[in-house]
Amino acid sequence: MTTMLAGPIGPSLADFGKDPWWISLIKAVFIFVFLMLGVLFGVWTERKLISRMQNRYGPNRAGKFGLLQSVADGLKMGLKEDLMPRTVDRVVFFLAPVIIAVPAFLAFSIVPFGPMVSMFGVQTPLQLTDLPVAVLFVLAMASMGVYGIVLAGWGSRSPYALLGGLRSSAQVISYEIAMALSLVAVFLFAGTLSTSEIVNAQAAGGTWEIGGLSIPLPSWYVVMLFPSFLIYVVTMLGETNRVPFDLPEGEGELVGGFHTEYSSSLKFAMFMLAEYVNMFTVSALAITMFFGGWQAPWPISLWDGANTGWWPMLWFFGKLVIAFCFFVWVRASLPRVRYDQLMALGWKLLIPISLAWIVLVATVRALRLEGGDRTLVMAMLGVIVVVIGVLYYAFDTSRERKKKDQQAQVREEFARLRNEPTAGGFPVPPLDLPHYHGVSSRPAVTRADSKEVTSEAKV
């Protein structure tokens, strides 16, 4: 059986839907302003961090420490002439940036910033709204963004933009499946899909009593469901088209990806805006699902008032900044993967591991609820570890065999080219000429001859 310990409990589903309209309007405006300012400072922070990692200064001209550089770039793109190619589908070309930007803002409406507070004399939760299926709402809004990318490529009537849109659709399908599966374990332990209820489930720790043995349970799911967290981290990079999974915007092979035909105007700015807002959204979802949401980390949590009032909003923003810096660190450290590696990682690794992990978590959860035997749980864990080891060994040996076969094919091809002087469709000089063995066909020049030449040159 499970014994739960008391902890700071925030608002529940019953606390939503009771705010006056002007309180909801204030929250909505706050979220919009926060995301807009977050994008401005996020661009500046990313450029500064990457420049310092590369031993550069970064933006340092516009404003103190270059803080106004993002504002200048935004004004430039907003006031620049909006050029539209002659052959584009004008309606689709115009709607694509809107379709990708609007869902990015809507997804942030169910993110909890803090507990119940008093706002102008009204007790209200620091969250715009909540739903019984709030996490599914976030996933649905994230899925809507790919329509904007695909329509931008299709409406541009350009092969480069169309390839970028098709890449994005295939990438999002594979990585959204793995992302949704990584969150199933959280739903099983929290017993709900509401974001506020998931934060409350992580607020109270507990112990698991099995056969007279008391096992402490951590409060944050990042410890107890660490494999789910690792899978989510990889999928959120693929979901936001960030390095090393920015294949839809591969500048090296696609010029600019799905927005190749968009000039550096307001439409192009909306694509960049949606990218950074999506980064904030997936980071906030990771904080809510795995890091206790607005709860204070240890040792700040030892303070009695750490999780009351307006202080939790500070802890939430601090976690959000750390998550954003992780995005920047990954971009500055890892190169872009190949497209076949991207798809193989999603379909052949992340999804199978997520399914196996869900089966294990569901079994453990059922045993916890029914007071299962500890020996059975340990046996199941052992079987899972053995199966994973066998699969890894089989995959590793198959990869080595494939590598050896490729090397043998290369050696055979070189041998064939050596024996056939005309291989390749054009005459090839034989490989037994003197200069192929380090012997020059030119007459040797002795030291005496070189001295004579040097003396003649001086004369």
The alpha carbon of residue 268 and the mean position of all alpha carbons in its chain are separated, in whole angstroms, by 21
**Residue 125: beta bridge partners?**
116
| Poorest-pLDDT segment among 126-135, 270-279, 377-386 | 377-386
Residues in the chain: 459
pLDDT, tens digit, for every residue of 319-353?
A: 999 999 999 999 989 888 888 888 888 888 899 88
ω into 244 cis (within 30 of 0): yes
Residue 167 gets which letter from DSSP?
H
Average pLDDT over residues 78-98: 86
pLDDT, tens digit, for every residue of 155-191?
A: 988 887 888 788 888 888 888 889 999 999 999 988 8
Cα–Cα distance between 31 and 126 in angstroms, integer? 11
Residue among 141, 116, 227 nearest 178 (CA): 227
Between these two residues, 396 and 313, which has the higher pLDDT value?
313
Q: What is the value of pTM for the model shown?
A: 0.79
Cα–Cα distance between 3 and 6 in angstroms, integer? 10
In this predicted structure, what is the pLDDT of residue 217?
Answer: 56
String of DSSP letters for 289-358: HHS-TTPPPTTGGGSTTTTSTTHHHHHHHHHHHHHHHHHHHHHHH-PPPPHHHHHHIIIIIIHHHHHHHH
In this predicted structure, what is the pLDDT of residue 263?
Answer: 76
Residue 87 gets which letter from DSSP?
T
Q: Is 215 helix (H, G, I), strand (E, B) or coil?
A: strand
pLDDT band at 298 (very low <50, low <70, confident <90, very high): confident
Cα–Cα distance between 32 and 167 in angstroms, integer? 30
Cα–Cα distance between 194 and 132 in angstroms, integer? 5
Kind plus residue range of the DSSP H or E element containing 141: helix 134-156
Cα–Cα distance between 182 and 219 in angstroms, integer? 18
In this predicted structure, what is the pLDDT of residue 436?
Answer: 43
Which distant-in-sequence residues (6+ apart) come within 8 Å of 302 by Cβ?
none
Q: Tell me if 139 sits within 8 A of 179, measured CB to CB.
A: yes
Average pLDDT over residues 213-227: 75
Between these two residues, 373 and 1, which has the higher pLDDT value?
373
The alpha carbon of residue 48 and the mean position of all alpha carbons in its chain are separated, in whole angstroms, by 20
